[in-house]
Chain A
């Protein structure tokens, strides 16, 4: 396999909320084309970690490097960096005052400065991709959870980011809607989109990801290929955690 291009590198990331230390020095790398799933028990710091990566939370310490360069030094203004690192939220967070199409256009027009024509075409391309093209006139509150999340994915993709961060994208969904979102995510993974996904969907992590990071109590407890971590976890805490999931093939 050819030498992989290093896209994102997190080095010794620490995050404290008041006295409470959530992340106690986390390091990992994301190469171009990687699908990295971050798993771990609730409260282990997974969401905080992914939110630190695009500075929605300010890390207390540590370095986040994009293409080998420290983000805080290279990008004088974070907005530019954030357009390269897309984000999908657990609660979708579609802009309630805009239609589906406008949701997917606003970033392109206002942030990237594209003209409306181009922005519309790009938005339509990705809405088509997630199967929401016929809903362009709907407002977010008129959509189901799964539809909202698919639009949110299209909104993030419309900026054509290098990496897509996903913070528990299916955790707020009714069970019957999880599948449609996972299907879209799998498709994106197959197309080679680089993704970092915080998830509780173990079957998805096992089948789709190229690497799995198990986080517990603010540290990386184990990191390896999905085959290894799901069939022969080394760490006792990983074993305990995974034993709670029934992962019959």
Chain B
């Protein structure tokens, strides 16, 4: 081999040439884990949040009400347990527990997806519950008053508004997940941190490698936060509206399509 690099920056360049590919691959795995985990977590959170906010129906039977109460109790213990233990420990318990208790040899990657999803789900469940409760009770009453049931009320009226309100929190979760998937290195998921540690070990250049890693993490989180901001403003829709000046009765099917949803 020719001469070794002799300054910080020449080491950075050298390591980038050598291990850039590995790090990018690690970053890819990190991003995949964070995106999929956040998405599935949101779905879990939504489902749990909707169930948690089912009101008690005094006209329903005793059986139905106690069933709902039982389901709610199970769901809230899920939330408490997974919010109340560190993800790094959950990863160990799930990965090695599945092996020794149930003899399931899941791949580290699968365990990673599982842990991130259910962990995010637990946080999202509370976020969604908060989002639903933040919507004015009058919205729910109006929906009920035109004959909607709980799920219709949620689906068409409350959740679209609640989701807009919890978008910043979803963004938070995505960014936290991009960073915190690094703990999955304990079950040897080859995400960015794992890749960096391996690369650093070869030449014992920890600072240089982790300097690069740092920048990659920041690029990912910053991009994610910008994209989410853009999504939020998109969800807000146009600020203005157009009056329909012609006789709407004349063409009762035309005008609905004419209003381009963008309206800008």
Please list the residues of chain A having a beta carbon within 8 angstroms of any beta carbon in chain B: 54-56, 58, 72, 77-80, 82-83, 86-87, 89, 91-97, 99, 101, 106-107, 110-112, 117, 120-121, 124-125, 127-128, 133-139, 142, 152, 155-156, 159
Cα(A54)–Cα(B136), bound, Å: 19
Q: Which residue from B149, B248, B253, B259 sits with its C-beta under 8 Å from A134?
A: B248
Complex contact B143–A120 (CB within 8 A): no
Complex contact A93–B59 (CB within 8 A): no
Residue B252 is within 8 A (CB to CB) of chain A in the complex: yes
Cα(A107)–Cα(B157), bound, Å: 11
Beyond the given pairs A55-B59, A120-B252, A156-B145, 12 more chain A to chain B contacts, judged by CB atoms under 8 angstroms and listed by A's residue number, are A79-B144, A83-B146, A86-B145, A89-B145, A95-B142, A107-B148, A117-B252, A135-B243, A137-B243, A137-B263, A155-B146, A159-B146
* Interface SS of chain B: loop
Complex contact A137–B252 (CB within 8 A): no
Residue B103 is within 8 A (CB to CB) of chain A in the complex: no
Q: Which residue of A lies closest to B160 (CB)?
A: A97
Residue B241 is within 8 A (CB to CB) of chain A in the complex: yes
Complex contact A137–B259 (CB within 8 A): yes
B218-254 contacts to A, CB under 8 A, are 237, 240-245, 248-249, 252-253
User: Which residues of B lie under 8 Å from residue A79 when comparing CB positions?
Assistant: 144, 147-149
Cα(A112)–Cα(B241), bound, Å: 28
A to B CB contacts below 8 Å, 13 in the list: A56-B141, A56-B145, A79-B144, A79-B148, A89-B141, A92-B138, A93-B141, A95-B142, A99-B259, A110-B148, A134-B244, A135-B244, A137-B243
Residue B10 is within 8 A (CB to CB) of chain A in the complex: no
Cα(A3)–Cα(B35), bound, Å: 68
Residue B84 is within 8 A (CB to CB) of chain A in the complex: no
Q: Which residue of A lies closest to B59 (CB)?
A: A72
Q: A110-B156, A139-B241 are in contact. Are A89 and B142 (CB under 8 A)?
A: yes
Cα(A158)–Cα(B152), bound, Å: 18
